[in-house]
């Protein structure tokens, strides 16, 4: 009888402790679940934010690519301008130092002595052309005559590149 009492109260004790353990387990589980839910929501928010940031970063990368293309185009344009200006300078040098068919270099001084009036007219025309080139370089608008010039006799021979857009040099 005495042993049965031990067993009975032992079982009651086990059940009590088991119930407490179960209660503690559920409470802990709920707390962990709440934590997991909060962290999951945070992770989801982080994911959204990161996705938005990725889109922003992609826009920045796209813009940088456009910028690089723009820079390359600007450099190419400048190189073309430089090449054209070097060509014009070479043409000017050619006017003074052209080698004729007999292998002699043109001497503008000698020509001026022989054909004074003609060379004076040429020099004044070249000077006027050169001054007009500076005006155009500073932003002066082209005249209709300059814009429509296509023949060598019509162009400003000092700077056809900027003075006569329709003229094609061969």
Partner 1 sequence: MSNTNEDTVIQGFLISFLWLIPVVFLINSCTTDTPSPQVKKIETVTQYIEKTPLNLEKPAAIEMSTINWILITPENSEQVFADLKSNGVDAVIFGVTDDGYETLSKNFAQIRSYIIKQNEIITQYKNYYESDSKP
Residue (50 or 148) nearer to partner 1, CB: 50
Task: Verify binding: residue 113, partner 1, rule CB under 8 A.
Answer: yes
SS3 call for 62: helix
Residues 117-136 that bind partner 1 (CB under 8 A): 119-120, 123-124, 126-128, 130-136
Q: Pick from 34, 54, 81, 150: which binds partner 1 (CB under 8 A)?
A: 81
**x/- letters, 35..74, toward partner 1 (CB under 8 A):** xx--x--xx-xx--xx--x--x--xx--x--xx--xx--x
C-alpha torsion 65→67→72→73, nearest 10: 120
Show the tokens assigned to 73.
């185009």
Residue 105 bridge partners (DSSP):
99
> Exposed (0-12), middle (13-18) or buried (19+): which is 79, by Cβ within 10 Å?
exposed
Task: Verify binding: residue 142, partner 1, rule CB under 8 A.
Answer: no
**x/- letters, 90..109, toward partner 1 (CB under 8 A):** --xx--x----------xxx
d(CA 107, CA 96): 7
């Amino acid at each position: 009888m005495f042993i049965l009492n031990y067993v009975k109260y032992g079982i009651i004790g086990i059940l009590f402790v088991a119930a407490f353990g179960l209660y503690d387990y559920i409470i802990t589980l709920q707390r962990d679940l709440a934590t997991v839910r909060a962290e999951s929501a945070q992770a989801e928010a982080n994911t959204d934010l990161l996705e938005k940031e990725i889109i922003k970063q992609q826009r920045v990368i796209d813009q940088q690519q456009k910028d690089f293309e723009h820079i390359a185009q600007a450099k190419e344009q400048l190189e073309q301008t430089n090449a054209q200006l070097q060509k014009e300078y070479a043409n000017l040098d050619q006017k003074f130092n052209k080698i004729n068919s007999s292998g002699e270099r043109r001497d503008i001084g000698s020509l001026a002595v022989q054909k004074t009036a003609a060379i004076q007219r040429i020099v004044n025309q070249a000077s006027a052309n050169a001054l007009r080139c500076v005006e155009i370089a500073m932003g002066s608008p082209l005249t209709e005559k300059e814009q429509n010039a296509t023949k060598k006799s019509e162009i400003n021979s000092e700077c056809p590149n900027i003075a006569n857009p329709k003229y094609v040099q061969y």
